[in-house]
Amino acid sequence: MATLRVVESGADHLNALSDDFVSCKGDRHDFPKLRVGPLPKGVKAVPIRQGQYQLTYTCPDCGTERTKTTLKGGILNSSALYSYKHPPGYLAPPGAGLVKADYARELGRRTAPYITGQKEVAPKPVRARRGRAG
């Protein structure tokens, strides 16, 4: 007996995404910024080893977490890369063929009625493309 594997299309993924996910993927996250003074809401610092700290920033819109490790004494390391942890359903399924422009277009489609003051417009089909926007 053959096994049937169901693969979500790019259009299905876009249509199923929450407005908050579409906003972050189509525009950008609203991660809190470090400022002089106490850590802002949505940023936590955890000591990890030899005076280094792991900073975790949480996007208030979609819940994505980005993490970066400081130098000794909590000094920011501008060359350190962030790692990301996304909530379930945020990432497109493998092979969906979506790119950043697809999310920006979907965000535009969803926000256009509020900009123009007209009622919501129906989703348009998304053509499959090579590549993948995380």
Please write the tens of the pLDDT for every residue from 4-33. 445 568 888 999 999 999 999 999 999 999
Residue-range domain boundaries for the chain: 10-116
The pTM assigned to this predicted structure is 0.76
Between CA 89 and CA 67 the distance in angstroms is: 20
Average pLDDT in the 26-42 region? 95
Quickly state the pLDDT bin for 132 (edges 50, 70, 90). very low
**Residue 65 pLDDT more than 70?**
yes
Average pLDDT in the 34-62 region? 96
> Percent of the chain having pLDDT more than 90?
66
Stretch among 4-8, 51-55, 80-84 having the lowest mean pLDDT: 4-8
Q: Angle of helix 100-116 relative to helix 19-26, nearest 10 degrees?
A: 120
**Residue 48 pLDDT more than 60?**
yes
Between CA 43 and CA 66 the distance in angstroms is: 10
Between CA 113 and CA 123 the distance in angstroms is: 12
Average pLDDT in the 117-122 region? 69
A 10 A CB-CB count for 17 gives: 22
